[in-house]
A and B are shown apart, each in its own frame.
Chain A
Amino acid sequence: MKTDMVIAGVGGQGILSIAAALGSAALDNDLYMKQAETHGMSQRGGDVQSFMRISDKPIYSDLIPRGGADIILSVEPMEALRYLPYLKQGGYVVTNSTPFVNIPDYPEMEELEKTIKDLPNYVLIDADQIAEETTGSKRAFNFVMLGAASPFIDVPFEYLEEGIRKIFERKGEEVIEMNIKALHAGRKFAEENK
């Protein structure tokens, strides 16, 4: 059992909550995990990534080697492509389709979508919209994304629910339920569209 995943996005989008839920899930189930993240300057609207590694054997490197990632999970479509050198053959790109445009030379959406659809294995999902439809708020889009990546993560699905429960423990049942709903909606979409 081993999954290496690059989680990508833009500083401020909150990709670390995805990593936190997964990390908590791994730890509570006696799996090894390492998760490297970006702090500092890039958090000011720059590209950020987190390397998430889960395994039932000890993990050495905090970084995923290039060509070694099973999944690229991106909460933003252009950022998904930035990490292609890390994706192994047969690996999956799971990305949100809602762009985060904070630069003047952001690519044309059509071209971007075409590039993603040319990839051998991808899930392109409008996580913002699905979050809004299922939970009434876009805020849970991160967990729609985790749900959409979940079929490719070699960790039992219940662990992910537990992880969400754990990290939102102090925020109350309502917030937990909202994010678990989002997780299920993301998974359902991926199962139907992978």
Chain B
Amino acid sequence: MQKSLLLGVEAIAQGAIDGGMSGVYAYPGTPSTEITEYIQHSKQAQQLNIHRDWAANEKTAMESALGMSYAGKRSMVCMKHVGLNVAADCFMNAAITGANGGMLIVVADDPSMHSSQNEQDSRVYGKFAMMPILEPSNQQEAYDMARFGFELSEACEIPVLMRITTRLAHSRAGVTRAAEVVAQNDMKLPEDKVQFVLLPGIARKRYKLLLNNQAKFETASEESPYNSYTEGTDKSMGIIACGLGYNYLMENYPNGDCPYPVVKISQYPIPRTMIQKITSECDKVMVLEEGYPVVEEMLKGYLEKEAVIGRLDGTLSRDGELKPEMVGRALGFDVEEGAEVPNLVSARPPALCVGCSHIDVYTALNEVVAEYGEGRVFADIGCYTLGALPPFNAINSCVDMGASVTMAKGAADAGLIPSVAVIGDSTFTHSGMTGLLDAVNEKTPITVIISDNESISMTGGQHSSAKGKLEAICEGLGVEPEHLHVLTAVPKKRDDLKDLLRKEFEYQGVSVIIPRRVCVQKNVRDQKIKKAAKAKAAAKA
């Protein structure tokens, strides 16, 4: 069969479509965004009427996916690793309710923090929730395991976490698709009518069931086609390679002649029999895993009596992605690197685009803030976080989605007045609204700038849930109309913006200023789409 050239994320998307999925729910976040985008652009998904609109945030997405599973259909929810923090309340409890229709929770981690605030490892969450975890090592497995994940979820009656990392997410390879597409489930409500009612009395029973099912999950891992034990001749060391770690191991043995016994893990809980065999037969064990030393810590124990090496003892770097040469060195190979980077090479950090509306906002804001003294601007997650870099150096915080509004509030409570929040339109509807309600209820003197470019821009211009709704939301939350302002973010209106900022900085209550202009990148894309549609219509006529 003809292979398709797919990114890891696209392979998951196609695997889920072919695996009988009825809906995907997600909020964009690198490196997970293209899973949902692929489904949105798929004609097959359109024909199958698969749900594929963006959600307001990861929590609403996961809850909707759980609702679809409740109704007996297969659902998928996708997010980046920090998105799982937002959805964690639902995630932890979904392990207790269990699933009805198969439910796949895909979380894309970003070790080395290419586009993130931290490099948390979602396998820790999976273990915390006591949920089965899948960790594909290549694009073909990513495709196959999406379908497999639905089956596993239905067989074990629990949502299944699929954890990937940046390199697999954004690397392309040929993928062979399954010959047959699985039909979507019919709607079928849970047989146990209180399965999803987590009142203490019921939750206790469900939790016991989850604990009892751990053995079943372990058996599934032992029998999984994605876990394997390969014998080796040199038992001075055994190797446990998780997910992508397996690739970096084999990269160092291009002829497949690794002398050590190897356990490849792509499904958790870890397969106990294989682990027992390799630890008892080998003098020591090296653990190769992308992210946190999750498996290494399990095997090593607190007293560190066991001969386990990996990221904890410095054999491999404790932080950042695994690299093939890093694994090569750990295996004792001489790795010869190329020449050093010449000194004249300058750093080229990302920057706001030419003509970006955030530039107008920061230019005006910086001038006015200078009049009051620096250190009072709390920002958020999005393109405008680049305001932290020169030439703007405009912001003093970037922590999590929505934290701008609430950190400004806390700082104002502490006496930092004026205190300013800078947040984007989509981040505001993701997690900023509730914080604004807190401030309104207490009449906290803060100025919130919603820098509205009518798009989720950093991840590629997805539809913003906030579009056309910001004024109504703010008024609905109780922002006083005379302290709610909208203006166009263009260079010639910068003086107007400065006047507004000065005026509202003096107001001892909540002010919201919305500078608005569509993202320049989104605008170009929209024009292209319009032009193409016009050409198509003309061709038809």
Residue positions of A touching B, CB distance < 8 A? 10-11, 19, 23-24, 27, 32-47, 51, 57, 59-69, 78-79, 81-82, 84-89, 91, 102-103, 105-108, 111-112, 115
SS class, residues of chain A in contact with chain B = mixed
A35 with B247, Cβ < 8 A, contacts A46-B349, A46-B351, A66-B335 known? no
Which chain A residues border B353 with CB–CB below 8 Å? 44-45
Which chain A residues border B173 with CB–CB below 8 Å? 32-35, 59, 62
The segment from B201-209, B216-224, B321-329 found at the interface with A is B321-329
Tell me the bound Cα distance from A43 to B521 in angstroms. 11
A107 with B338, Cβ < 8 A, contacts A38-B114, A44-B351 known? no
Q: Closest B-chain residue to A86, C-beta based?
A: B338
Residue positions of B touching A, CB distance < 8 A? 3, 5, 30-31, 33-34, 114-115, 167-168, 170-174, 244, 246-251, 254, 323-325, 328, 335-342, 344-353, 383, 386, 458-459
Q: Contact: A81 with B341, CB < 8 Å?
A: yes
Which chain B residues border A10 with CB–CB below 8 Å? 348
Q: Contact: B325 with A27, CB < 8 Å?
A: no
- Apart from the given pairs A41-B30, A78-B346, 18 other A-B contacts in the complex at a CB distance below 8 Å: A24-B5, A27-B174, A33-B173, A39-B170, A42-B115, A46-B348, A46-B350, A59-B173, A62-B168, A62-B173, A63-B167, A65-B251, A66-B323, A82-B345, A84-B342, A87-B339, A89-B338, A107-B346
A41 with B324, Cβ < 8 A, contacts A85-B339, A87-B338 known? no
Shortest CB-to-CB span from A127 to chain B, Å, is 19
Tell me the bound Cα distance from A57 to B250 in angstroms. 13
Q: Contact: B174 with A33, CB < 8 Å?
A: yes
Q: Contact: A32 with B338, CB < 8 Å?
A: no
Q: Contact: B167 with A47, CB < 8 Å?
A: no
Q: Contact: A23 with B5, CB < 8 Å?
A: yes
Q: Closest A-chain residue to B139, C-beta based?
A: A34
Tell me the bound Cα distance from A98 to B283 in angstroms. 56
Which chain B residues border A19 with CB–CB below 8 Å? 172
Q: List 26 A-B contacts (CB under 8 A).
A: A27-B5, A36-B170, A37-B170, A38-B114, A39-B31, A41-B458, A44-B353, A44-B383, A44-B386, A57-B254, A59-B173, A61-B247, A62-B168, A63-B248, A65-B324, A65-B325, A65-B335, A66-B323, A66-B335, A67-B337, A84-B338, A84-B342, A85-B338, A86-B338, A88-B338, A107-B346
A-B contact count (CB 8 A): 156
Q: Which 6 residue pairs across A and B have the least CB separation, nearest first?
A: A40-B115, A40-B30, A46-B350, A36-B171, A62-B171, A44-B350
Q: Contact: B30 with A39, CB < 8 Å?
A: yes
Tell me the bound Cα distance from A78 to B346 in angstroms. 8
Tell me the bound Cα distance from A30 to B240 in angstroms. 31
Tell me the bound Cα distance from A64 to B231 in angstroms. 27
Shortest CB-to-CB span from A74 to chain B, Å, is 11
Shortest CB-to-CB span from B351 to chain A, Å, is 5
Q: Contact: A102 with B351, CB < 8 Å?
A: yes
CB-contact partner of A40 in B31, B348, B349, under 8 A: B31
Q: Contact: B172 with A34, CB < 8 Å?
A: yes
Q: Contact: A78 with B350, CB < 8 Å?
A: no
Q: Contact: A39 with B167, CB < 8 Å?
A: no
Which chain A residues border B349 with CB–CB below 8 Å? 46, 103
Q: Closest B-chain residue to A84, C-beta based?
A: B339
Tell me the bound Cα distance from A11 to B353 in angstroms. 11
CB-contact partner of A66 in B167, B337, B344, under 8 A: B337
CB-contact partner of B458 in A40, A46, A103, A107, under 8 A: A40
CB-contact partner of A102 in B34, B325, B345, B348, under 8 A: B348
Tell me the bound Cα distance from A163 to B345 in angstroms. 33
A62 with B351, Cβ < 8 A, contacts A40-B459, A85-B338, A115-B342 known? no
Shortest CB-to-CB span from B367 to chain A, Å, is 21
CB-contact partner of A60 in B34, B115, B250, B458, under 8 A: B250
Q: Closest A-chain residue to B174, C-beta based?
A: A27
CB-contact partner of A106 in B170, B172, B346, under 8 A: B346
A38 with B344, Cβ < 8 A, contacts A60-B251, A67-B335 known? no
Q: Closest A-chain residue to B248, C-beta based?
A: A61
**B173, B248, B347, B386 interface centre (most CB from chain A within 10 Å):** B173
Q: Contact: B336 with A89, CB < 8 Å?
A: yes
Which chain B residues border A51 with CB–CB below 8 Å? 171
Tell me the bound Cα distance from A79 to B346 in angstroms. 9
CB-contact partner of B345 in A37, A45, A67, A81, under 8 A: A81
Which chain B residues border A23 with CB–CB below 8 Å? 5, 172
Which chain B residues border A86 with CB–CB below 8 Å? 338
